[in-house]
Structure 1
Amino acid sequence: MNIIIAPDSFKETLEAKEVASTIEIGFKKVFPNANIEKIPLADGGEGTVKTLVESNNGELINTQVEDPLGRTISSYYGIINNGKTAIIEMATASGLELLKEEEKNPLETSTYGFGQLINHALKKGVKEFILGLGGSATNDAGVGMLQALGAKFYNKKNQEISKGAKEINQIASIDITNLENKFKDIIINVACDVTNPLCGQNGASFIFGKQKGADEKMIKQLDSYLLHFANLCEETFDKKTKNIEGTGAAGGLGFALVTFLNANLQSGIELIMQSVNLEEKIQKADLVITGEGKMDKQSIQGKTPIGVAKLAKKYDKKVIAITGCLDEGYEIVLEHGVDAVFDCTPISNNFETIKKNAKKNLELTSFNIAKCLKIS
C-alpha cells in the first residue's frame, strides 16, 4: 500500500510535521510494510515557512524587525531553491499573536516589520518570494510594508505620514522611485486564503477589523481610510485593483502587493501544493490522508484538507481526513472530495488536557482507522 499523509498543523497543539509523523506511527502498527510519504502542508498562514523549508531542504534565517507597534522583536523567514526563493509569513512580524489583548488597535498597528523581512531577503539576493498573509494585526493597506521598502507617503503639507492606519486618509501624494529599481525582475507570489476585496461590507475592515481590536465606529473609519487610499492609488497609477479578490487580505496588504509590487495572488493551499509537487506524488498513492486542527463549514473556503481532497479526486483516490475536533457544518466537506472524517479529541477534556494528550489521541485514532481499513 502506498499512502500519502498530507495534513496541516493542529493549531496551538501540533505542527504539521508532528501531525504527519504521528499518523504514520498509528498506521505502521497495522500496515508495517506500507510505503508512507509524509508531506506536511500549510495554506499560507501559520506554519507555511517551516513547512516549505522542511519540504525543500531549505534554511531558516533569523533577524530582528519591528512588531506591529514598533517594538524590536526576533523574527525569521525561510530560504529555498539554493537561495533564490524566500518564504515569509507576515504574521511573524506583523501578526495578531504578537500583541496582548489590550494592545490590539488597527489604527496604530503597522506592517513595517513585514517590509523589513522582505528587505532582508532582497539583500541576500533573493529573486522570488512566496508570501503568506494569514494572522495579521494590521489594517494599514500595506502602507507600513511599503514604507520599510522605501516608498514615501506625503500629506498636503508635504510631510511624511507616520506608521499605522491612523494617517493614511491624509495621504496626498506618493513617491515610489525607490521601489521601481528594487523590485525590477522580482517575482512575488502571495499565498492567500481569503477572497475579500479591499473596501466595503465584505472588505478588510468590516470582515476582519473586530478581531483586531476595532469597534463599530473604528471599522467604518478604517474602511473610509482604505477607500481614500485606494482612490488615490487609482488616480496616481491608473490601476483599478481595490475590487480584486484577495486585496482585502491582511488588512489590505494584498492590495499593496498587487498595486505596488505586481504580485500574484493565489490560493494559499494551491501554491503550497505546487511547491512540494503534491500532484505528482498523489498519482502513485493508494490512499491519501489529510487533516487540520478543527474542521467545520469554513473548511471548504481554501483550507488544506479540501485542497488536498480536490487534487486527490482528480485521480480518483480515496481521502481520509483526521482532525483535532469537528464543529458545526463539517459534513459539507464530504461534498468536496473527502470520503470520511474522524476527530481524535475526547469531548469532555479541557484544552490543556487536549494539548497534553494530542499525540496519543491522534496516534490511537490513526491506529483504529487503519484497523478498520485492514478489516474491510
Structure 2
Amino acid sequence: MDNEVHKVVAIPDSFKGTLSAREVAGAMRRGVERAATTLDIHVDVSEIPFADGGEGTLEAVLAAWGTAAQACDATDSLGRPIRSHYGVSPDGKTGLIEAAQANGLAAVSDVPLRPREATTRGVGAMVRAALDQGVQEILLTAGGSATTDGGTGMLRELGMRFLDKNGNELPDGGGCLVELATIDVENVDPRAFDITWKIAADVTNPLTGPHGAAHVFGPQKGATPEDVEVLDAALANMARVAEAVGGQQTEGVPGLGAAGGIAALLHAFFRVELEPGWQMVSQALGAPETVGSADLVLTGEGRFDSQSIDGKVIYGVRQLTPPNVPLVVLAGQVGITPEDLERSGVTAAFSIARGPSTLEEIAPQTAELVEWNAYQIARFWLS
C-alpha cells in the first residue's frame, strides 16, 4: 500500500442546465475516492465549487463560506418587485452581490425586452441591504445583465440623482442619459464612500465605442441598431458628466463596458478595484492556497472550447495550478483544437459522454458520468 497522501482538488464550474458547480465537485470527489479505494491508496480530495463572476457565483461562494443566502426586496430590470438574494461572509465584513439576481436577462425572459429603459435599481436595493448589515467591502459580480444604464439605477437607490439641463430628474434606463446635464451626489448614502468596491469584470471592453457596452452586448439585450447608437451616445454623455462632477475618467478604462457599464459610475465616484471574475471569486473561496498544494487538479464545465481559455473558469484554474501539476478538464462537450489545448496549459480534456449524445439524453446521467470519468482519470493517475 502507498502510504503517501495524494492531494486532489476538484474545482469545476457548473454544467449549466444540469448540475451546479457544487454537484459537479461532489461527483468528481466520489470518483477519485472510489479509484483510490480500489487501489488501496490514500487521497485527500478538496471540493471547491467555482465560478467566474457570472451565473452561479453566489451559490459557489456561499458553499465555501458555509453561510446562507440573505433575502431582500428588490426589483428586476423592468421595475417589477422580486425577492433577491445576496451573501455576507462569515466574519460579516464582505458582502457578495450577484447583480444578475436583480438585473439578469433570465428574470425578464417572459416579456419583450426594453433595452433603453432597463434599470439596475434592484442591484442597488441588494447593496443597501448588505450595507445595513455592516459590511466593509462589496464584491459585485456583473455577468448576465439585461441593462445598459451605466449603473445609474443602482446608484439612484443609494441616493444619487441624475438631472437634465432644467434640473428635472431623468427617468430610469440608459436611453435617457443623452439628456443628462449634472449628477447630484449630496444625498448619497455615506457608507458607499466608506467601503471598498471590488468589481468582477470578466471582459476588457471599454464603456463606449465599437467595442463598448452598447455595441458589443446591447443586441443580446434586445437592442436594435438604433437602440445601440442611442445607448452608446447616452453612456458617452454620462461619462463626460461623471468626469466633470466626480473627477475620475471612465472612458477608455478596460472592463467598464461589462454588464452595460454597471461599474462606470462607481469608478468615477468611489473606491473601486476592477479584477477578473475568476480572480475575485478564487480569493473569496481561498482557492489559491488549496490549489497551490495539489498533486492533481480536476476542473470542468458544460462545454470546453476556445472561449473557455480566455478569462473564464478554466483559464482561472490554470493560473492557480502550479506548472508541474496535471490539470484535467471534464466537460459535456469538448470542442477545442490541439493547438488551443496546448495554448491553454490544460494537460488533457475529456468529454463525459459515452458516445454520440444530445444534451437531453445526457442530462439525467451527468453526475454519474462525471463520477465515472473522474474514477477513470484518478485510477490511471494513481497507478
Same fold (TM over 0.5): yes
How do residues 137-216 of structure 1 correspond to structure 2 at under 5 angstroms?
A: 137-179=146-188, 181-216=190-225
TM-score, normalization: structure 2?
0.93
Q: CA deviation at 1:180?
A: 6.2
Indicate whether 1:58 and 2:63 are aligned: no
Q: CA deviation at 1:102?
A: 4.5
What is the aligned counterpart of 1:300 among 298, 309, 327?
309
How do residues 59-78 of structure 1 correspond to structure 2 at under 5 angstroms?
A: 59-78=68-87
Distance 2:225 2:362 in 1: 35
Give deviations 1:36-87, integer Å, cap 9, x for gaps: 1111111111111121112122231011211010000111001113221111
How do residues 201-350 of structure 1 correspond to structure 2 at under 5 angstroms?
A: 201-314=210-323, 316-327=324-335, 329=337, 332-345=340-353, 348-350=356-358
1:357 alignment partner in structure 2: 365
Q: Is the 8 A contact 2:36 2:43 kept in 1?
A: yes
Q: CA deviation at 1:151?
A: 0.2
Distance 2:230 2:110 in 1: 21
1:6 alignment partner in structure 2: 11
Distance 2:92 2:112 in 1: 36
2:46 alignment partner in structure 1: 37
> Residue type matched to 1:236 in 2?
V
Give deviations 1:152-194, integer Å, cap 9, x for gaps: 0111221111111121111111101223623232011111111
Count of paired positions: 374
Which stretch of the first structure deviates more once superposed, 192-201 or 216-225?
Answer: 216-225
Identity %, equivalent residues:
36
> Residue type matched to 2:248 in 1?
K
What is the aligned counterpart of 2:145 among 132, 136, 150?
136
Indicate whether 1:108 and 2:117 are aligned: yes
Give deviations 1:316-343, integer Å, cap 9, x for gaps: 2111111121235585143232111112
Q: Any stretches of 5+ residues in structure 1 without a counterpart?
A: none
Which stretch of the first structure deviates more once superposed, 64-73 or 182-191?
Answer: 182-191
| Aligned-residue CA RMSD (Å) | 1.7
> Residue type matched to 1:304 in 2?
V
Q: Any stretches of 5+ residues in structure 2 without a counterpart?
A: 1-5
Which stretch of the first structure deviates more once superposed, 176-185 or 293-302?
Answer: 176-185
Q: Is the 8 A contact 2:15 2:21 kept in 1?
A: yes
Distance 1:352 1:256 in 2: 43
Distance 2:341 2:83 in 1: 38
Q: Is the 8 A contact 1:313 1:337 kept in 2?
A: no
Q: CA deviation at 1:287?
A: 0.6
Distance 1:214 1:347 in 2: 40
Query: Are residues 367 and 159 of structure 1, via their aligned partners in 2, closer, same or farther at CA, if it must alter by over 3 Å?
Result: same
1:59 is paired with a residue whose SS is coil
Q: Is the 8 A contact 1:297 1:330 kept in 2?
A: no
